[in-house]
Amino acid sequence: MKRHIEYIPAPPKPLKRVGIYCRVSSSKPEQLKSLSNQISGLTRWAASIKTFKVVDIYVDIHSGKAGSNRPEIKRMIDDCKNKLLDVVLFRDISRLGRDTVETIESFRAIRNSGVRVIFEENNLDTQEDSSEFILSILESLYQADNESRSQNIKMGMQQRAMAGTSGFFNRKCYGYKKDEKGELIPHPEEAKVVRKIFEWYLEGESIIGILKLLEKYSILSPRGKAVWPKRTVDEMLSNEKYRGDSLLKHATPSGDHIMIEDNHQAIISREKFQEVQEEKARRSNLVRNGNEIKRAGKKYSSKK
């Protein structure tokens, strides 16, 4: 009897259900473009693998700051726990969490559900690499990235400071507000108070006396309080912003200060500002001897 041999192909393996997760920090145009690139890039990458089928895309548009909600990462982790996904795909490690703790917690939650995790740009795959190995990579990469980011931010601030374009030069203080371009301009009512404080001081009032006058005329402090701190008035009398200049301390790698003269409209003339500095020095019982400033033997009798 002639045997009949029939070839029976193995049934096709079910496709792996893939979830793609993407995150950007805001809805600004450049961030939305980044989001579009993330989605299209990962979708193409998944389509190149015959056993993969994208079943869901999870998108969060939220700040990287701790405390901001990310509902889509939570939904994705729930889908992993409910066995709705076989693989989750990220562009890189930074998409998974906003800090090391959150990243590791999210990674463990997914892995404990038995779901494969792939970081496409980092070339990390839990099918090829052990979870503990990836966790060690996560920790070391995040630490290095945070240190690098902090250094880059510091260097960028220093470069902007040396170019005179740092936003810190236009930090608002009492007496000023910002216009639509972000430039400092005098605040009409507050500027009047600043001028009165300088005038009172040159008329012989002590700082304590000025505090009493501010209270007498019911002028609220910069924080909206009825009582002004003595230090606030003292610092106002030496604040170079009122003469139109801006000072940024420790702005360069060597720790130098940078002064931008005529950065904005002055509230106090340079002459009057200088008079106040000289009067403050006199009341502080300091005398100038050449390039040196020394304390005189006799103390100034009244309070500053």
CATH of the domain at 45: 3.40.50.1390
Q: Which residue has the higher pLDDT, 254 or 110?
A: 110
136 and 56 in a common domain: yes
Distance CA 260, CA 215 (A): 34
Q: Which of 136-145, 195-204, 239-248 has the lowest mean pLDDT?
A: 136-145
Q: How far is CA 73 from the centre of its chain?
A: 23
Rounded to an integer, the average pLDDT of 151-164 is 46
Here the tokens at position 168 are 């810190």
User: What contacts 32, CB < 8 A, 6 or more positions away?
Assistant: 24
Determine whether 30 is exposed, middle or buried from the number of CB atoms within 10 Å of its CB (0-12, 13-18, 19+).
Answer: exposed
Distances (CA, A) of 49 to 46, 129, 217, 224, 302: 6, 19, 77, 63, 84
Taking only the tens place, the pLDDT of each residue in 29-85 is: 888 888 898 999 999 999 988 899 999 999 998 755 545 578 999 999 999 999 999
Query: pTM for this structure?
Result: 0.45
Helix (H, G, I), strand (E, B) or coil at 175: coil
203 and 133 in a common domain: no
225 and 280 in a common domain: yes
Q: Which of 13-22, 187-196, 251-260 has the lowest mean pLDDT?
A: 251-260
Of 161, 106, 176, 160, the closest CA to residue 134 belongs to: 106
Residue 103, domain extent: 16-148
| Residue 238 and residue 197 in contact, taking contact as beta carbons nearer than 8 Å | no
Per-residue pLDDT, 300: 41
Q: Is position 113 within any domain?
A: yes
Pairing between β-strand 246-248 and β-strand 258-260 as defined by DSSP bridges: antiparallel
Rounded to an integer, the average pLDDT of 134-159 is 55
Rounded to an integer, the average pLDDT of 25-30 is 82
268 and 231 in a common domain: yes
Distances (CA, A) of 83 to 19, 68, 93, 195, 203: 12, 27, 23, 70, 80
Q: Is position 214 within any domain?
A: yes
Q: Is position 290 within any domain?
A: yes
93 and 190 in a common domain: no
Per-residue pLDDT, 258: 60
